[in-house]
Structure 1
Amino acid sequence: MATFQELLETIKKESTITIWGHAIPDGDCYGSQIGLREILRANFPNKKVYAIGSGIPALFSRLSPMDSVDEETIASSLAILVDVSCLRRVEDKRVFLAKKFAKFDHHDPNKRGEDFPYPDFCVDPRKIACAELIENFAFFNHLKLTKLAAEALYTGIFTDSGCFRFYGTNQGTFQAVRRLAKEGIDPLSIRAILERESENVKRFKAFLRSKVQKTKDVTYVIIGPKDYLSFGLSFEEAGSFVNAIESVESPNIYCLFVEDGKGEYRGELRSNKGYPVQPTATHFHGGGQIFASGTSTYSEEECRKVVEELTRVKKLPL
């Protein structure tokens, strides 16, 4: 693993840099991409730096849209992955065209096919968000932050920490936010955009809460296409609402399993009470962070096996 200084030296050597995130980007993925892009543009104005992917369109007018880049540019670039463990999980598969690779991430590497066989990477699972890691990188290397960079990184930290509620939010998280606040960020306007919800989404969340099942101290919901399509939601959208069931029954661990219409279930596992879900996720074709991970299963019965394994998870000591 590279140090912050070594990663900076790698970046300094390249004239073109592309920044990539995972499929179905969330606030941390998008915020990390835009934040790192703006840091590098501000400190190295002669470099060409691009953030590639679908981002979060609702934030484009408030923060920034993503960039359109041709394959020739990608082929000449250093590709930096953020908030994603390996190349195969990157949203835009053109990433494989890049000449060199680096990575910032806060996910524990999944040992099943998620190797990153390149020396220029920094992974710290102790960080609540990849955006926090990137802020630390900038702070350590005395890099200038613009207001846009700071607001993008704040967005990443705010969303991945669940509004600073999730287990793993700590003193370092607030120290990073304190430094970002010095750049004049406007958290309220960002939060207002992030919290906008359609009536369909509100009704879908209520539906999920009504479907909660419980096994010991694990709560879970299993739904199929008819459930989410009736609310006008896609498979990808439906799977993002796991936190809607967080407060039901006050569980140690809560899970949402969504079937894609072809027999595969996307599982989202969460714990806000210190119970590590990542080892179980790895066992069921997935991975992620210690307290927030995903699975891929192929039957409702297998989803229940995930739940059964989670009932045996022990709380980590503080």
Structure 2
Amino acid sequence: MAKNNWEIALKAIEMHENIFIFHHIRPDGDCLGSQFGLRELIRTNYPEKNVFVLGDAVGNFPFFTWDFDTFEKIDKKYFKNSLGVVVDANSSNRIQFAKYITDKNFTHMLRIDHHPVDPDINYDYTWEDANYAAAGEQIAYIAMKAKWKVTTKAAKYVYLAINTDSGRFQFEYVQKRTFEVMAYLHKDNDFKVWDVNFPLSIREPKKVKFNAYVLLNYKEDNKVIYFHVTKKLQKKFKLSTNESSDVGILANIGNCKIWVMFIDQPDGSIRARVRSNGIWINHICEKYKPGGGHEVASGATCYNKNDMKNLLQDLKNEILKHEKS
């Protein structure tokens, strides 16, 4: 069920002179594309406003320009009549540089998100709608409904968001509206999807070898497929934790219902990326904090092999329950 609508977000943006946009930890194409796409759209359509983006792309999508602002270098005068905007995220443990928000630096807070989560931050304005394929689709929808001008630069950012979070338009929440906003992104500019699709399609040889290794060595247990990317494997294939976290490698193999990629993290924790092709898994992932997300695309955190075993068992139990119902 949606919480509010696009008009709430538009009202919040128009009411404030200074806007600060945040993304979630472990940034993906949706949060980055939404963040920078919204910045470009506001700068183009409200040139009198000051817009800042806070975060770190951690090397993702290097064919884009990620020119983040440094919070400590921003003049404090911009905190007056300010709006903090969180895209594609919700709670403080999921937001990069959340301390700037929890320290109450901003006059008001806005959340634009497609994750059905009750956050621990008291947002003044919220547009949450899990029926959107991506937060980027929400940003594009605001632009379309408000009749904003879309530059080629803005279109590329927002398209990155929609493309990556929709699994290249193959996931369940892709619908007629998704293609309507895609058409709007092409309005009165030189945007071509190829300009983003091609660099997205380029595969590094080391990652191809890693993908092959995963496909030859994954494990299956009662319709759950999983693989553990240990630090040893990351070192072997010369991959960062982020580069070795593509859970899509395991998608829809045979009759599997759920697939999980466990990735060792530098701090000793184990990131679990969990996906399904119909069974809801977000309530299970929420048990392994920090965790949660979409009904069929969520994440969890494990701290040892016992946690991993328990998570897999919970997922297998959910499959059994689903098959009996």
Do both proteins adopt the same fold according to a TM-score greater than 0.5, normalized to the shorter chain?
A: yes
Structure 2 CA distance for aligned equivalents of residues 93 and 206 of structure 1: 37
Equivalences for 1:173-184 in 2 at 5 Å? 173-182=178-187, 183-184=189-190
Identify the residue that residue 190 of structure 1 maps to in structure 2.
196
Aligned residue identity for 1:208: V
Shift of 1:67: 3.7
- Work out whether residues 27 and 56 of structure 1, in 8 Å CA contact, stay in contact via their aligned partners in 2: no
Equivalences for 1:39-54 in 2 at 5 Å? 39-54=41-56
Q: 1:259 to 1:92 in 2, by over 3 A?
A: same
SS in 2 for 1:79: strand
Shift of 1:206: 1.4
Structure 2 CA distance for aligned equivalents of residues 25 and 244 of structure 1: 19
Q: 1:128 to 1:116 in 2, by over 3 A?
A: same
Shift of 1:51: 2.0
Structure 2 CA distance for aligned equivalents of residues 224 and 65 of structure 1: 32
- Work out whether residues 28 and 60 of structure 2, in 8 Å CA contact, stay in contact via their aligned partners in 1: no
Equivalences for 1:130-279 in 2 at 5 Å? 130-182=135-187, 183-239=189-245, 241-260=246-265, 263-271=268-276, 273-279=277-283
Identify the residue that residue 39 of structure 2 maps to in structure 1.
37
SS in 2 for 1:229: helix
Structure 1 CA distance for aligned equivalents of residues 230 and 260 of structure 2: 14
Which is further off, 220-229 or 173-182?
173-182
- Work out whether residues 4 and 128 of structure 2, in 8 Å CA contact, stay in contact via their aligned partners in 1: no
Q: Which consecutive residues of structure 2, in runs of 5 or more, have no partner in the other structure?
A: none
- Work out whether residues 106 and 128 of structure 1, in 8 Å CA contact, stay in contact via their aligned partners in 2: yes
Shift of 1:5: 2.2
Q: Cα RMSD between the aligned structures? A: 2.4
Share of identical aligned residues, percent? 26
- Work out whether residues 63 and 199 of structure 2, in 8 Å CA contact, stay in contact via their aligned partners in 1: no
Structure 2 CA distance for aligned equivalents of residues 181 and 63 of structure 1: 20
- Work out whether residues 108 and 124 of structure 2, in 8 Å CA contact, stay in contact via their aligned partners in 1: no
Shift of 1:157: 0.5
Deviations 1:38-75 (A, max 9, x none): 11111111111122222375656556633445243563
Q: 1:60 to 1:94 in 2, by over 3 A?
A: farther
- Work out whether residues 167 and 291 of structure 1, in 8 Å CA contact, stay in contact via their aligned partners in 2: no
Shift of 1:250: 4.7
Instruction: Find 1:104's aligned residue among 79, 103, 112.
Output: 112
Shift of 1:304: 2.4
Q: How many residues align?
A: 311
SS in 2 for 1:283: coil
Instruction: Find 2:75's aligned residue among 72, 75, 78.
Output: 72
- Work out whether residues 8 and 127 of structure 2, in 8 Å CA contact, stay in contact via their aligned partners in 1: no
Structure 2 CA distance for aligned equivalents of residues 227 and 12 of structure 1: 49
- Work out whether residues 86 and 111 of structure 2, in 8 Å CA contact, stay in contact via their aligned partners in 1: yes
Structure 1 CA distance for aligned equivalents of residues 12 and 163 of structure 2: 29
Shift of 1:4: 2.4
Shift of 1:223: 2.9
Shift of 1:230: 1.6
- Work out whether residues 22 and 89 of structure 1, in 8 Å CA contact, stay in contact via their aligned partners in 2: yes
Aligned residue identity for 1:107: H
SS in 2 for 1:237: coil
SS in 2 for 1:274: coil
Structure 2 CA distance for aligned equivalents of residues 237 and 215 of structure 1: 25
Aligned residue identity for 1:252: K
